[in-house]
Amino acid sequence: MAQIDIQNVQKFFGHLQVLKNLNLTIADGEFVVMLGQSGGGKTTALRAIAGLESVTSGKILINGTEVQDRKAADRDIAFVFQSFSLYPHMTVRENIAFPLRAVRMKATERDKAVNEVAGILQIAEHLNRKPSALSGGDMQRVAIARALVRRPQALLMDEPLGVLDAKLREQMRAEIKRLHIARGSTSVYVTHDQIEAMSLADRIVILHDGVLQQVGAPDEIYLHPTNLFVAKFVGSPVMNINGVRIDGNGVTLSGADASFSFPDDALASVRGTAADLTLGVRPEAVLLQHQQTEGYIEVQTTNIEPLGSHDIVDIGLGEAVLRARTESGFISGEGQRVWARLDPAQAHFFDTATGLNLRGAN
Partner 1 sequence: MADIALQGVTKKFGANIALRDLDLDIKDGEFFVLLGQTGAGKTTTLRVIAGLEKPNSGKVILDGQDATNWNAAERDVALVLQQYSLYPRLTVRGNLEFPLKSRTHNLTAAEIKDRVDRVAETLQITRLLDRKVERLSGGEMQRVSIGRAIVRKPRVFLMDEPLSALDANLRDVLRVELKKLHSELGATFVFVTHDQVEAMSMGDKIGVLNKGRLVQVGTPSEIYAKPINTFVARSVGTPPMNLLDGTLRAGTAVLDAGGFTLPVTRIHGADGARIRFGIRPENMVLDGNGPASGRVFDVENHGVIKILTLDVNGTHLHATVSAQTKVQIDEVVPFGWRSEKVLSFDPTNGRNLDLD
- Least distance CB 306 / partner 1 (angstroms): 5
- Least distance CB 76 / partner 1 (angstroms): 27
- Least distance CB 192 / partner 1 (angstroms): 10
Q: Which of 93, 67, 184, 201 is nearest to 145 (CA)?
A: 93
* Residues contacting 8, CB < 8 A, separation 6+: 21, 22, 23, 57, 58, 59
* Residues contacting 301, CB < 8 A, separation 6+: 313, 314, 315, 316, 331, 333, 334, 335, 336, 338
Distance CA 96, CA 312 (A): 48
Question: Based on CB atoms, which residue is closest to partner 1, 238 or 246?
Answer: 238
> What's 236's DSSP letter?
S
Alpha helices in the chain (DSSP H): 42-50, 92-102, 107-120, 136-148, 166-183, 194-200, 218-223, 228-233, 264-267
Question: Based on CB atoms, which residue is closest to partner 1, 53 or 175?
Answer: 175
Backbone dihedral angles phi then psi of residue 73, each to the nearest 5 degrees? -65, -25
At 129, which helix (H) or strand (E)?
Answer: none
Distance CA 20, CA 313 (A): 40
Residues at the contact surface with partner 1, assessed by CB under 8 A: 170, 173-174, 177-178, 181, 195, 198-199, 218-219, 222-223, 232, 234-238, 282-284, 303, 305-310, 312, 314, 325, 329
Question: Based on CB atoms, which residue is closest to partner 1, 48 or 172?
Answer: 172
- Least distance CB 205 / partner 1 (angstroms): 16
- Least distance CB 19 / partner 1 (angstroms): 24
- Least distance CB 21 / partner 1 (angstroms): 29
Question: Based on CB atoms, which residue is closest to partner 1, 264 or 343?
Answer: 343
Question: Based on CB atoms, which residue is closest to partner 1, 272 or 335?
Answer: 335
Question: Based on CB atoms, which residue is closest to partner 1, 237 or 250?
Answer: 237
